[in-house]
Structure formats: structure tokens, C-alpha cells
Structure 1
Amino acid sequence: MAIAANVKSYLDAQGVQYELIGHYLTGSSHESAEAAHIDEGHIAKAVILTGQQGPVMAVVPGDTWVSLSAVQRMLDRELVLAQENETASLFADCDQGAIPPLGPAYGIETLLDSALESLAFHYFESGDHQTLLKVRGEDFFKLLGGARRGHFSSAD
């Protein structure tokens, strides 16, 4: 699989041009950045959180972690990190753990970390563990137009 069906449909519907960047099989955004020779901070990583009101996708730079307490304060509700087996049904067209940071394409409430705002290009999972997508910065924000923005990532 080079690109998940929902992702391709969403990119096409939004009129966003993209480049596919293949790399060897990886298991994390850190490994994908190394394999594709890309700065890890330029990878937009999706982290899925769950709570009583359903799932939330937090999109952060690949070289950071989500501050759960900051997200909880922002949304004023309790959330926990979702387990990979919990996300499989949400992203049925993706390999397990290869979640594209495009919550709107999957009908998932999405938060976008402000640390990603200054990048000219964004790289992210296409739905498998061997392909990244590259889009222009303004197109990435078009794809995440309805996402709430704030600072909730941490390098610690």
C-alpha cells in the first residue's frame, strides 16, 4: 500500500498536490525520518487520544511528544493515549500504527500543534510503514482547516 484510500480521496477532493517518498520498512516517525533523510521535526505525527466523547487526533512534530495535560486543559476533558488495537477500526485502510495526521479525512476531531506552523513543507505517514507524503505548508493547513490550534507538544 502506498497511500491509504481515504487519504488519497481527501487530498484529491481538496486539490492538494503531493509527493510520495518511499523508504525501507520502519516502525516509528523517528525511523521514517532517518530512512527518508528528512529532519524529524518536519514530520507531522498523529497521536490518537480517547475519552468519553470519542477519539481526538493531536498532530505534533515528529521529534516531540504530546503533553496530555495541555490537551486536556485545552479541551476541558479527560483523555488517555489510545492503544494501537483501539485505532485499527478508525483507520481501517491503514497499516496498524501508520496513522496519517489527517483527522478530517476520517471524521476525527483534530488538534494541530502551533510548532508546525513555520514549515515550508510537511511530511507525514501515508497509511503504511514505507511511504511518506510531502505537501506544501499552506496545503497542509488547508487539509487541517477545521483543526483547533494550540501548543501542546513537548521535546521532553
Structure 2
Amino acid sequence: MAAGMKGLKKRRRVQVIVVMAVALAVSTTLVGIAMKDGINFFRSPAQVAEAPPSPAETFRIGGLVEEGTLARGQGETIRFNVTDGAASIPVTYTGVLPDLFGEGEGMVGTGRYIDGTFEATEILAKHDETYMPAEVIDALKEQGVYQPPDAALATN
């Protein structure tokens, strides 16, 4: 009788391990799917102008804050255009801007493109290429408006 109980316990333990392995595989898959959705694709203003993303899609946009477009509206809402030299996209943002944020400066925003305006939920200011994402530099170089930081240092 004791031998029969041992076999039963062993079979039960194997079943528990199999169930746990399946649960782990399922949860890993779900986390992977969730993370895939959470990765914010980067787009330049020119790419947004050519192929506007759906309002449901959260993505990152980057470029330079266009000169003469920065306006502080009612409350804490700020409006400005982000440009890569080829296209200019209107941006709205409600919140506190980073210290380095200003016209002619590099920026990256995360948000959604709704009715022709990028509604940012986060703004990061970039003041030189050591902080500027490679995608922004590539987009600016593509349009011929990229200035390496060494050029700025030479004029100081």
C-alpha cells in the first residue's frame, strides 16, 4: 500500500511541475506582448508628415524646437513646433518643461498624433549629441540641418 502512495505522490509532483511550466510560458508570452506594445517607435517630423500614425499609437518624435513657435498658453499648456528641416509638426504639452528646453534646441517627446497635433505626455530636452538620441541626429543629418556640438563650441 505504501508503494502505491509513493507513486501517486510522484505523479502529482510531476503534474504540478508541468502546470507551473505552462503557467510560466504563458506569463512570459503575455509580458513579451505587453512590452512589444510598450516600445515607443521613434519618428522624425518628416515621417509623421508623410505617414501620420493613428491617434491610438504612442510614439516618440524628435527634432529641433522651431524658432518663433514656442508659446505658453492658458494654464501650463505649452505649444511649439518640432522640425527636422523638412517638416514641422505642432506639439502641445501640459506640464513642467526641462531646464534645457528652448527654441532651436533638440527635444524628444513621447505622445500621440491627434488631429494634426502631437499631444506629448513627456518632453525631454537635449542640448548636445551626448544626450541627443541617435535617431534625432540621423533625422537632422538627413535634412542637412544637423550642427555638431564642436561647431557650437568653436563660436563660443
Which structure has the greater CA radius of gyration?
2
Q: Which has the higher contact order (CA 8 A, sep 6+)?
A: 1
> Considering the TM-score relative to the shorter chain, is it more than 0.5?
no
Q: TM-score if structure 2 supplies the norm length?
A: 0.25
Structure with the bigger percentage of helix: 2
